[in-house]
């Protein structure tokens, strides 16, 4: 590893942890049978999916 890639390692670890956390959160929001309206479930699940995609792109291209 050179000096340029060493500073990216904590950033990528944080993104990876974020991706691991957002996946179950998105499934919980999308498929929960709570008091939420179906529209809010759809918006919440879609928002979690978009955050996952942004984390993935930032992970691949720091």
**pLDDT (tens digit, 0 to 9) for every residue of the chain, 62 residues total?**
555 555 678 888 999 999 999 999 988 888 887 767 888 888 888 999 999 999 999 999 87
Q: Which two tokens stand for residue 55?
A: 């984390």
pLDDT at 41: 86
Return the HEC string of the chain: CCHHHHCCHHHHHHHHHHHHHHHHHHHHHHHCCCCCCHHHHHHHHHHHHHHHHHHHHHHHCC
Measured distance CA(16)–CA(24) in Å, rounded: 14
Tell me the pTM: 0.77
């Amino acid at each position: 590893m050179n000096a340029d890639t060493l500073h990216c390692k904590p950033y990528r670890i944080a993104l990876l942890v974020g991706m691991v956390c957002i996946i179950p959160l998105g499934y919980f929001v999308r498929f929960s049978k709570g008091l939420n309206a179906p529209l809010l479930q759809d918006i919440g699940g879609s928002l979690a999916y978009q955050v996952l995609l942004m984390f993935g792109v930032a992970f691949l291209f720091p």
